[in-house]
């Protein structure tokens, strides 16, 4: 393969998408950008409605008839707000979370199923919101000048706890995680995991097709709860050995390079900046929204104003948050190349993700809206790696072909050689 041309190879990979599929992906991606703006507007509208009902002030007055109770009101008012906001925001949630997905053929889930899962998420979200702002109000009372800085620490802690608990308690509510079945495919992945000091007994397949047809995999967990999981849609969309190794190499990169900790710190710093800006803008929003009787940002009855301010500040910060995750994603791709030597496998997989992330955005669009680098940039990076490591890539591709034959043989045999290697995951180890 002398004279390997990375640009031509990139174009060849992308040509796997038909012009119709490409147009649909662009449509979908643009719609997602608008949903971001729409979501912020809905949050502001909901905040304004709740403020105007005066409900939070009445609850506060009722609770504080005898003496001020800032500790309990700063929990109860955000709790009530979050619950009402979940109800008022439901039509928008259905539209943006289910209807659009359905329209673009990205989900086959019936509305009833989506709704029941949404309800569980809303209940958990309401409680977490109340706990989080209870902590924020405590900071506002005790550290009027530096609360925003400590607020960043609280965000980092919440992100850390969420990352750690998600695979243990949250994800199993919505999906079934089964250890990857024994066989040549799993062996190939386990070998790669061991070579990179990744716990090789924590590779799962989950029934992601229940919620979405997206070709996807993820890593989740921290401090010992970490695991890697592939959606069953990968198999449904014909993932071969090269793709699985390329994709899992990427997910292992997130794990080995401690991206969970990097994001925890990064989001904490970003949150501190956003809280500072929120403090500056709060009086402006209070005036604009006509919030009478709100004593200031530390007064929980002004929670709707705080939420509206945060909605705007968060929207403005989207490119910063995206840039942070784009950095970790590019780093995970680079790790995958070194760990899996599968530039074509990863690229084939990436092109399959392009149906929900249009592959060729403008530079500005990528900076503003993309939480992963664009597929064309990612495939090009893989092809650039291949150009420098042609022999290695070809040797791996040949090994994959041999494995692929074994996988097919195993499929034909159904049960296959069932002697599971040591360290096979058991139900007991499953989070």
Q: How far is the CB of 333 from Zn ion (least distance, A)?
A: 8
Shortest Å, Cβ 250 to Zn ion: 6
The site map against Zn ion for 312-351 (x = CB under 5 A) is: -----------------x--x-------------------
Instruction: Name the residue nearer to Zn ion (CB basis): 240 or 329.
Output: 329
Least distance to Zn ion from the beta carbon of 230, Å?
12
The contact mask relative to Zn ion for 124-163 (x = CB under 5 A, - = no) is: ----------------------------------------
Closest approach of Zn ion to the CB of residue 344, in Å: 18
Using the minimum distance from each CB to Zn ion, give the nearer residue, 198 or 313.
Answer: 198
The order of strands in the sheet holding 227-231 is 177-179, 203-206, 227-231, 217-220
Rounded least distance, CB 253 to Zn ion, Å: 8
Task: Tell me how crowded residue 296 is: count the other CB atoms within 10 A of its CB.
Answer: 13
Report H helices in 104-174: 111-142, 147-165, 171-174
Instruction: Report the residue number, 133 or 335, with the smaller CB distance to Zn ion.
Output: 335
Q: What is the DSSP string of 202-230?
A: -EEEE-GGGT-----EEEE--TT--EEEE
Among candidate residues 125, 44, 35, 136, the one with its CA nearest the CA of residue 86? 125
| Residue 378: CB minimum distance to Zn ion, A | 10
CA dihedral 151, 152, 153, 159 (to 10 degrees): 110
Question: Which residue's CB is nearer to Zn ion, number 129 or number 374?
Answer: 374
Structure tokens belonging to residue 380: 């090009």
Contact in structure between 118 and 93 (CB atoms under 8 Å): yes
Pick 371 or 394: Cβ nearer Zn ion:
371
Instruction: Say which residues have a Cβ less than 8 Å from residue 373's Cβ, sequence separation at least 6.
Output: 326, 329, 330, 333, 366, 381
State the CB neighbour count (10 A cutoff) for residue 428.
5
Q: How many residues bind Zn ion (CB under 5 A)?
A: 2
Confirm if 166 and 221 have CB atoms less than 8 A apart: yes
Q: Which is nearer to Zn ion, 329 or 366 (CB)?
A: 329
Residues found near Zn ion in the complex (CB under 5 A): 329, 332
């Amino acid at each position: 393969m002398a004279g390997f041309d990375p640009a031509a190879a990139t174009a060849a990979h992308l040509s796997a998408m038909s012009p119709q599929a490409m147009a649909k992906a662009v449509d979908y991606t643009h719609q997602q950008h608008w949903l971001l703006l729409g979501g912020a507007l809905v949050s502001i509208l909901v905040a304004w409605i709740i403020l105007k009902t005066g409900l939070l002030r009445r609850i506060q007055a009722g609770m504080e008839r005898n003496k001020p109770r800032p500790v309990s009101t700063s929990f109860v008012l955000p709790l009530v707000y979050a619950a009402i906001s979940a109800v008022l925001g439901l039509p928008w949630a259905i539209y943006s979370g289910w209807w659009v997905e359905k329209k673009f053929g990205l989900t086959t889930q019936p509305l009833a199923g989506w709704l029941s899962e949404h309800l569980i998420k809303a209940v958990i979200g309401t409680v977490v919101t109340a706990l989080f702002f209870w902590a924020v109000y405590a900071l506002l009372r005790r550290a009027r000048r530096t609360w925003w800085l400590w607020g960043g620490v609280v965000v980092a802690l919440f992100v850390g706890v969420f990352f750690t608990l998600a695979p243990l308690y949250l994800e199993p509510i919505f999906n079934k995680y089964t250890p990857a079945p024994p066989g040549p495919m799993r062996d190939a992945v386990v070998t790669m995991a061991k070579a990179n000091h990744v716990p090789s007994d924590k590779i799962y397949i989950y029934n992601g097709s229940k919620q979405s047809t997206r070709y996807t995999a993820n890593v989740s967990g921290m401090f010992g709860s970490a695991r890697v999981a592939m959606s069953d849609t990968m198999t449904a969309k014909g993932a071969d050995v090269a793709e699985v190794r390329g994709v899992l190499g990427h997910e292992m990169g997130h794990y080995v390079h401690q991206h969970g900790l990097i994001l925890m710190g990064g989001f904490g710093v970003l949150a501190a900046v956003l809280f500072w800006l929120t403090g500056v803008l709060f009086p402006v929003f209070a005036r604009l929204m006509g919030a009478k009787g709100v004593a200031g940002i530390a007064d929980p009855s002004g929670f709707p104003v705080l939420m509206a301010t945060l909605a705007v500040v968060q929207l403005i910060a989207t490119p910063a948050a995206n840039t942070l995750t784009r950095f970790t994603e590019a780093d995970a791709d680079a790790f995958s190349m070194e760990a899996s030597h599968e530039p074509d496998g990863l690229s084939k997989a990436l092109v399959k993700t392009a149906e929900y992330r249009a592959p060729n955005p403008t530079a500005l669009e990528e900076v503003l809206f993309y939480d992963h680098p664009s597929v064309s940039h990612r495939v090009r990076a893989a092809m650039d790696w291949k150009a420098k490591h042609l022999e290695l890539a070809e040797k791996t591709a040949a090994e994959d072909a041999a494995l692929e034959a074994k996988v097919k043989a195993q499929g034909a045999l159904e049960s296959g050689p069932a002697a599971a290697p040591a360290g096979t995951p058991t139900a007991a180890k499953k989070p």
